[in-house]
Amino acid sequence: MRILVTGGAGFIGSHYVRSLLAGELAMDDPAGTFDASVTVLDKLTYAGNRANLPAAHPRLDFVQGDICDQKLLRDLLEGHDAILHCAAESHVDRSVEGGATFVRTNALGTQSVLEAAVAVGVPRVVHVSTDEVYGSIEHGAWTESWPLLPNSPYAASKASADLIARSYWRTHGLNVSITRCSNNYGPYQHPEKFIPRFITNLLEGLPVPLYGTGANVREWLHVADHCRALHRVLIHGRPGEVYNVGSGTELTNLDLTERLLPLCGADKSMIRYVTDRKGHDQRYSLDDTRIRESLGYRPQVAFADGLAETVAWYRDNPQWWKAANLGEPRTLAAASRRQQGWSVDHASVSTTRSH
């Protein structure tokens, strides 16, 4: 079996690739993808990192390129049996500063991947989405039939991608499934995100910026559990089906911060309450009964263990996250300046083979 992973040098995609190559997902696949070959397609923007993947592996090919490049996609997809579509702009704060890149990558990029899959005849696609497409929920939990009510440009671009994916199933008969996961955490996550931002700040003796009163609620899922769910859906999921992927671990942002403080050797004096984000959703919660009952998925990483292991990884790998920060002060304003100052040559494509 040959699988193309878009965005495979990013946080979730690279974990999936490393796990697949290491045979860690074989137990979820009696058909035997333990010996699957993987092609990673990644543009290597700020959140993509070649160092997240093995430097060399006999079953890995790496291609640097843009998912909006149809010629590249069609040439690359020949001979592939499946696509795991992880490529996305995913940071809400950046989407608030400017949404155009999110629409291009998340909506138009998804359409480009699906168009190429139909043209080449790739028999299986999984589109990786987010719980944020549902909006915010005060009580209870979202099922897959809940209406899409996104509140940020990021969430809206992902909701658009979900609808495009559904249309390719209905119109073209493409065997595509959609997954919507809760907030992920784990090693190799870019330090602009909540947990690695707070960990790396605290490890350097810097305060952590907590939005509003810290009362916003998120459901947290270890990236290893998410990747196990993605593989189950890839192998066993039904065409046109949506699968919520949750954990049942809901915490306010303040609760989460208070768990991180002692793990990083800090106390509450390091918390700085900052002006809340525009359109900040109050609470996310997924009902993932469908994937549990129909595909037999269960999360395996206890949150306390996963969080402690994540803190330890960032403590042991300062060279990785310091390079990801580009040496700038870790503030939202600095992140916005970096985003606005970067330019990308979309026509530039290079290919390297890892063996």
Q: Which string of DSSP letters, residue by residue, matches 41-66?
A: EE---TT--GGGS-S--TTEEEEE--
DSSP letter at 344 equals -
4 Rama class: left (phi>0) / alpha (psi -120 to 50) / beta: beta
- Give the pLDDT score at 341: 29
Residue burial 238-269, b: 16+ Cβ < 10 Å; e: rest: eebbbbbbbbebbbebbebbebbbebbebeee
Tokens of 158: 């992902």
Helix H or strand E segment including 128 = strand 125-130
Asked if 154 is an active-site residue, the reply is: yes
Measured between alpha carbons, how far is 180 from 174 in angstroms, rounded to an integer? 19
Task: Name the CA radius of gyration of the chain, rounded.
Answer: 19
Parallel, antiparallel, or unpaired: how do β-strands 60-64 and 37-42 relate?
A: parallel
Parallel, antiparallel, or unpaired: how do β-strands 60-64 and 350-353 relate?
A: antiparallel
Asked if 131 is an active-site residue, the reply is: yes
DSSP letter at 276 equals P
Structural domains for the chain: 2-353 (3.40.50.720)
Q: CB pairs under 8 A, 24+ apart, for 337-343? A: 338/46, 339/46, 339/94, 339/97, 339/98, 340/97, 340/98, 342/45, 342/46
Task: Say if CB 127 and CB 110 are below 8 A apart.
Answer: yes
User: Does the pTM exceed 0.85?
Assistant: yes
- Give the pLDDT score at 324: 87
Catalytic residue among 16, 154, 168, 284: 154
The sign of the dihedral angle between the CA atoms of 313, 314, 315, 318 is: positive
How many CB atoms are located within 10 Å of the residue 18 CB?
Answer: 20
Q: CB pairs under 8 A, 24+ apart, for 17-20? A: 17/53, 17/60, 18/52, 18/53, 18/54, 19/224, 19/227, 19/228, 19/231, 20/231
Give me the tens of pLDDT residue by residue for the chain, a chain 355 residues long.
Answer: 999 999 999 999 999 999 999 999 876 565 556 689 999 999 999 999 999 999 999 999 999 999 999 999 999 999 999 999 999 998 888 888 888 999 999 999 999 999 999 999 999 999 999 999 999 999 999 999 999 999 999 999 999 999 999 999 999 999 999 999 999 999 999 999 999 999 999 999 999 999 999 999 999 999 999 999 999 999 999 999 999 999 999 999 999 999 999 999 999 999 999 999 898 999 999 999 999 999 999 999 999 999 999 999 999 999 999 998 753 433 433 433 333 322 222 222 333 333 3
- Give the pLDDT score at 350: 34
- Give the pLDDT score at 337: 35
Which residue has tokens 């768990």? 259
- Give the pLDDT score at 122: 98
Task: Say if CB 268 and CB 249 are below 8 A apart.
Answer: no
Residues in contact with 263: Cβ distance below 8 Å, sequence separation at least 6, in sequence order? 199, 307, 308, 311
- Give the pLDDT score at 91: 85
Asked if 211 is an active-site residue, the reply is: no
Strand partners, 128: 179
Tokens of 4: 């193309």
Measured between alpha carbons, how far is 18 from 310 in angstroms, rounded to an integer? 17
Q: Which of 39, 108, 103, 102 is nearest to 68 (CA)?
A: 108
Catalytic residue among 61, 69, 97, 132: 132
Tokens of 224: 């290893």
The half-sphere exposure of 132 on its side-chain side, counting CA atoms within 13 A, is: 22
How many CB atoms are located within 10 Å of the residue 26 CB?
Answer: 17
Catalytic residue among 131, 162, 192, 219: 131
Distance of CA 3 to the CA centre of its chain: 17
- Give the pLDDT score at 343: 27
